[in-house]
Structure formats: C-alpha cells, structure tokens
Amino acid sequence: MRCAGVCRGADANDPVTSEPALVKPARPGEAREDPCRVYLGSLPFSLDVYQAEEALTELCGQYGEVKEVQVPWQDKKKKKRQRHNGFGFVTFVNEDEARVALEGLAGCQLEGRELKVRGATVKPEVKPAVKKPSGRQHVKIFVGSLPLEVDSDRLYDIFSLHGTVVDCKIVLDERGLSKGYGFVTYSNQEGADEAMHIRNASYMDGTYYEGTKKEVQRRKIIVNTATRWKADGIQGDDVPALFKL
C-alpha cells in the first residue's frame, strides 16, 4: 500500500458539529438518502482505481465494518491503472457506523488532499412503465353502393345494430345529394368486424343512378375497412365507379 490517510479527529478546537440531520423521505422519482452510505470526493489522481479502493477500505475500516467500496472510473474495460473520476462511495453494514465515519473523516487527508465527505444518496427505483393503450381505439369502415335515399340517420340505424357507433355520415356532393357512399366509425374493432362480416355484399333496394337516369334497383352494398380505399388511392369522386357489382 503506497498511501495512508491522515485524519485530524475531533477535539476541543474543532468546529462544533451538530448531530446528523434526520433522513427525509424522498418524493416519488427523487434520489433518497442512504444512511449507510458515505460519499468521499477529491480523491488524489496519483492513485489508480485499485489503490483508491484499497485506501478507502483501510481508511473507513477504522470506523466500522465496510460492506462495499465503489470508485467509478472512466474506462470500465481496463480497470487497472485507469484514471478514476475523483470520488468514491463507501457503504457500511449499519447507519450507526456510517454516522461515526462521517464525523471521524471530517478534515481527513489522502495523499496530501483533504477529502470531501458527506452522506450519499441512491437513485430511486424505477418501476417498469406500464404500456397504456393509445387514446384512440375507434375503427372506421367504408360503406358503398348505397341507394340515394339512405341518409346519415338511416345509415346509423342499420349499422348501430352491430356495435356502438361514434360517428356516421353520408358523403354529399356540391348540391347536397348523396354520392352513394359513406363512413361508419365504431368504438372498437369487434363492432366493425361484425358489420363487415354481415353487411358486406348484402342486398339493398333503392334508387341508383344508371348513367344520368335514376332507376330503382337491387344491389349489393360494399362494406370494408376505410383504410383499404385510401391505400388503393381510391377516394372522393372515384369511389362510385366501383359500385356496379
């Protein structure tokens, strides 16, 4: 061992030190004080990591049983002869011994440098984050090849039989007339799946455009996920061209 710590110890000429403050409980997410752990800063850089650990073990062992010594270093791949970060932590087996060490190490020198000594804290325990569902769980479906008489209210009456409908609308042209298709939004996937399973390719009687003329016909309606039509680049005025089945 190439170094030794020199401690003044307490005497009548030393400044009056008060009793260690009570450990305050940490709020959630804050670091908390560890009554058994002592921080020692201003370690001499003439010591490598191993030597610093040995010196702190010997120095603090005068005040109680040392449970653990930690000296952070810069290159964790090559510990020996590596430059430490200038500080370390010593953990005692109980808080009484740590309190005695805090008082006794005041003014202590190591390799000619006076150590900075204080109580240490530990990082708060981080609980694994609970994955929350995204705020929006709604599912929108496309309904096409509808008779011109079907408005948003009628569309709601039909498709609310399969689940909770949170939005429902028929797409209108510039004259306010139905374009023959619309969208229904369910509160969950189950309602949308049932509607697509039951209603797709089902027949509906009503008035349809045949060229420029209106004719009463019986056609299959189209019910599918709304995202499919967007993915295929089919939207707006292009959609009615698909309705003739």
Interatomic CA distance for residues 51 and 2, integer angstroms: 8
In whole angstroms, give the CA distance from residue 17 to residue 106.
10
Token pair of 200, please?
């797709």
Residue-level pLDDT at 81 = 58
Per-residue confidence (pLDDT) for residue 214, from 0 to 100:
82
Write the CB contacts of 207 (distance below 8 Å, at least 6 apart in sequence).
147, 148, 149, 214, 215, 216, 217
Q: pTM of the predicted model, to two decimals?
A: 0.42
- Tens-of-pLDDT digits for all 245 residues of the chain? 444 555 654 443 444 343 444 444 545 545 577 899 999 998 998 888 889 999 999 999 999 999 999 988 776 555 555 778 889 999 999 999 999 999 999 889 998 899 999 988 776 666 565 555 555 689 999 999 999 999 999 999 999 999 999 999 999 988 888 999 999 999 999 999 999 999 999 988 888 877 777 888 888 999 998 865 443 444 444 444 444 33
pLDDT at 131: 57
Domains (ranges, CATH) in the chain?
30-122 (3.30.70.330), 139-242 (3.30.70.330)
- Residue 7 and residue 16: Cα distance in Å, rounded? 17
d(CA 5, CA 108): 7
What pLDDT is stored for residue 132 in this prediction? 54
Asked whether 105 and 117 are in contact (CB, 8 A), the reply is yes
Which pLDDT does position 23 carry in this prediction?
A: 44
pLDDT of residue 232: 43
Token pair recorded at residue 90: 């010593």
Q: How many CB atoms lie within 10 A of CB 121?
A: 16
